[in-house]
Amino acid sequence: MDIIKKLTLGASVLALIVACDQGTSSTPAPETSAEAIAPAQNTRETETEIAAAEMTESDRLNAWYEEVFQAGVARSPMTQTFLGMKTNYDQWNNVTPEYAQEGFEISQANLAYMRENFDYDALDASAQISWRLFEYNQQRAVEGQRWIDHGYTFTQRGGPHMNTPTFLINNHRVDTLEDAQAYIGRINNMGEYLDQQMANSQRSFALGVSTPSWTFEPMIQTARNIVNGAPFTDGEDSPLLADFRAKVDSLELEDEVAADLMTQAETAMTGVMAPAYDRIIAMFEQQHAASSDDDGVWKHPDGAEYYNFRLNGFTTMDISAEEIHQLGVSEVARIHGEMREIMAQVGFEGELQDFFEFMRTDPQFYYSNDDEGRAEYLAAATGVIDTMRDTLPQIFNTFPRAELEVVRVEPFREQAAGKAFYSRPAANGSRPGRYYANLYDMARMPTYQMEALAYHEGIPGHHMQLAIMQELEGVPSFRRFGGYTAYTEGWGLYTEYLPVEYGFYSDPYSDFGRLAMELWRACRLVVDTGIHYHQWSRQEAIDYLAESTPNPQGDVENAIDRYIVFAGQATAYKIGMLEILRLRAMAEDALGDAYDIRDFHDVVLTQGALPLAILEEQVNAYIAANQP
């Protein structure tokens, strides 16, 4: 059993937890604080207790999964931090190809061990799902080996140049002097981590894998923004120094101790962090000079096959790029028809494009583009979520324990960040779930879309799904902290539609906003496949999205820039939503009066994220068990 102590799930599952690569540790870390305990603590004690009660085969398998998961977490200091642990608290992840290969080999050994040492037929239903998901994840990992260098390490939308300081600001809690020292340690270790990331980027670039040429100037500007301000330049504190200063101030240390910490942090920033960012910027400039203007991944070696691999991964379905493209065209036409009905309802005369222009420009739909307007937006969005909470018992049996807060995207990254997104809570309760609204340009955040955005990112959307998943009992951690995009984002989009049936969107303009958000996801099917399969240019994709939606030009350009560097991801939303709606209709038709939407939502939510084919099996089992 000694080898099992070393085994890990590998990057495919753990990367979903923190949206970063694998990690390592080389120095001792501060002790884990009493209140920051990993989600699966005391595994050995738990195993012993279960063994004393005569473990079932499912108990044995779940205990082994927990060992595997914790071994994987032990390989990733950043995952440990994300989970609320303070082990290896001064370390970053090891993202070298050698370490990744080691993780892959270990994960395949895990799979072989599972098949040799456990009896699938003796497992209960939930454990059988775990088995199949474990196999599914490892099969994807095998298929992904061919494409290990085809992904983008750095993009204008994200990457280590942006995520490294963001990780410290949002995830590195400072509750003690030792935590502050570990923060400084992470700054001192930042150079090696970023150098590994740059080596990965250069290896891909040498293969012919590169973001388009226009992406490099935004990447350079973001990197410069991060090292702008004290202690790098004159002026106010840089984002990272401001964060560290606030966290040190909260400790209420003696003045001499606090001043020494600040000096150490500034020395680390100027001596390690600044040179690392200089190297990143130099690499961006070098790659820019040799990059291509082509936008789609079709331009890369075996680009068409790579795109199919990504589509199948994000949708969890075997569906071709052309099928997705035509589905998008059909859905766009349907939604345009429903929008024309709203035009008639509000008495608007003109063409659909005229109505789009009205919705884009009429001041009644926008808060002022200043701090007062931003505060009003956050307050109103919080109110939308609070109102929805009162209705949840009509729709759900199961609710998350974790709190949810609505916050603004931090100013230093808002120009590059998306319109809105959700960050799941810490498993130990030390951090709530957060719905981030990007309020950089209030013209991109119309009030008529506020409801749908809040439902999608907050409740009953991502917070319901992801927080409940993390809190599931009797489900292995690799499932509680994993995910499948079509399921997760399909649920988010489904929950934009769901409130219609319970009296929400009573204002026709808000209902138009809901349709506008659904239209946006339908257009994604068209433009994503257009860019990466039909070889559209960036401008062709922008023109299609601008003509087909009411969103402002800045919104359109920002979105297309995202789809270009995250090939295939945007298709998962609509595919997942349509499948959940299809399964719900199937259950309603089969069960008639015995159907209860709360029970259906339990079927969808209480086993965590699933590939869509396995979700369909769960719904079929629910139907069979509840036939009148």
Instruction: State what percent of residues in the chain have pLDDT above 90.
Output: 84
Which letter does DSSP use for residue 20 in this model? S
The band of 317, judged by pLDDT with boundaries at 50, 70 and 90, is very high
pTM of the model: 0.84
**Above 50 in pLDDT, residue 297?**
yes
pLDDT in tens, 334-380: 999 999 999 999 999 999 999 999 999 999 999 999 999 999 999 99
Burial class (CB in 10 A: 0-12, 13-18, 19+), 224: middle
Pick the more confident residue, 11 or 420.
420
Does residue 389 contact residue 373 with C-beta atoms inside 8 Å? no
Q: Give the pLDDT confidence of 429-468 residue by residue, as tens digits.
A: 888 999 999 999 998 899 999 999 999 999 999 999 999 9
List, for residues 216-274, the tens digit of each pLDDT value.
999 999 999 999 999 999 999 999 999 999 999 999 999 999 999 999 999 999 999 99
Q: State yes or no: pLDDT of 176 exceeds 80.
A: yes
Tell me the pLDDT of the chain averaged across its residues: 90
φ/ψ of 54, rounded to 5, equals 60, 85
Provide the 8-state DSSP code for 230: B
| 336 alpha carbon, distance to own chain's centre | 29
In whole angstroms, what is the distance from residue 557 CA to residue 555 CA? 6
Q: Is 172 left (phi over 0), alpha (psi -120 to 50) or beta?
A: beta
Residues sharing a CB contact under 8 Å with residue 225, sequence separation 6 or more, in sequence order: 239, 412
Q: Which among 531, 540, 569, 572 is positioned nearest to 158, based on CA atoms?
A: 569
Q: What was the pLDDT predicted at 154?
A: 96
pLDDT category at 47 given cuts 50, 70, 90 is: low
Instruction: Give the confidence band of 28 by pLDDT, cuts at 50, 70, 90.
Output: very low
pLDDT at 33: 29
Predicted confidence band at 419 (pLDDT cuts at 50, 70, 90)? confident
